[in-house]
Amino acid sequence: MTKAFLSFLPFAMQLAFGQNIDSPTRIIISYGRNHSSWGRPGIYAKGETIELAPAKTNDFKITRYFRVNASAGDDGKTFSTDTEELNTKNLATIPKTKIEFWLTQLNTNKENFTTSFIRPRLKSPTKKEIFKTAEKYDLLWMLKGNHADKDETKRAINEIQNFYKLDSFLIFKKPTIQFDMMVFDSYNGMKIFVIKNNDTTEYRCQFYQPLGQPINRYQYKNYSTNFKVFNLEANTSAQSFLPENSITRKILDINNIKELYIKWYLENIMNE
């Protein structure tokens, strides 16, 4: 299933890419997620691709932006792919300095999977978000119902909204650089291709790990060796120039860690 989805993601796979962060001639960012259709009708895969190239001013422009949905038909056995081309004419020019800073972050290890970096960027979850997350993980009984203590529920909501023991959570959830997570029959990841004439650097990250860390760097099509980078500024600096409503920008958001934090708090802290 994953292979089927990736085959209709960026046609950039056939290109040769470059590694020089100072003067790329083309950049392609492709995010996608899918799962097995399990013989059921409906959308089972979504993705988007954003292409950038230098403008005449040496700043950058988004030259192509499209989304792809893959669906199973009513019989669950007939598959189709829909591509939506999005208008790029009204998108602002991206300063070259933003692109250079982002590419530098993709190649720089930083110890910023920390409270000091993450906490100022987190928005306090609403009660609705807390209850929704609790329900998703079958933990709603801890906050509501006959067995829930109202005072404990009130305390828990207040502590969650103030990210109580966030430092302990981040230590517990920080991805390891020694091992790669293997997930079968589904995909949730991003690929970045940085092109310089006939050379390529490819970056990959997958979002089964918190915030897509670590980032793996390869020389294009040479997957026998790779270089791993931990750096959340790769996320935040990309958000500074990606289209506001892009799903790639949303998946890079530091606030995506809130759901994991709420689940961790309910399972580990609430009944201390």
pLDDT at 71: 74
134: in domain:
no
Output the pLDDT for position 49. 97
Range with lowest mean pLDDT among 78-82, 128-132, 190-194: 78-82
Contacts of 101 (CB under 8 A, 6+ apart): 237
> Which residue type is seen at 235?
N
Neighbouring CB atoms inside 10 A of 149's CB total: 11
243 occurs within a structural domain = no
Is 250 within the bounds of a domain? Answer: no
Evaluate whether residue 135 is within a structural domain. Answer: no
Q: Is residue 139 part of a domain?
A: no
pTM, to two decimals = 0.84
Q: Quote the Cα angle for 143-146-147, to 5°.
A: 60
Burial class (CB in 10 A: 0-12, 13-18, 19+), 52: buried
137 within some domain: no
Interval 140-149: pLDDT, tens: 999 987 777 8
- Supply the pLDDT for residue 250: 96
Residue 51 pLDDT > 70, yes or no?
yes
Q: Under a CB-based contact definition with an 8 Å cutoff, are residues 212 and 206 in contact?
A: yes
- Whether 129 is covered by a domain: the verdict is no
Instruction: Give the pLDDT mean for 254-265.
Output: 97
* Residue 114: other Cβ atoms inside 10 A: 15
Q: For the chain, give the percent of residues with pLDDT over 90.
A: 62
Provide the pLDDT for residue 165. Answer: 97
Which of the four pLDDT bands, split at 50, 70 and 90, describes residue 15?
A: very low
> pLDDT tens across 96-110, in order?
999 999 999 999 999
CA distance 62 to 41: 34
Query: Which pLDDT does position 9 carry in this prediction?
Result: 37
Q: Is residue 22 part of a domain?
A: yes
Q: How confident is the model at residue 81 (pLDDT cuts 50, 70, 90)?
A: confident
Domain that holds residue 61: 2-94+176-234
Q: How many domains does the chain have?
A: 1
* Residues 195-208, mean pLDDT to the nearest whole number: 90
Quick one: what percent of the chain has pLDDT higher than 70? Answer: 81
Give the residue among 206, 195, 218, 215 at the shortest CA–CA distance from 251. 206
Q: Would you say residue 4 has pLDDT above 50?
A: no
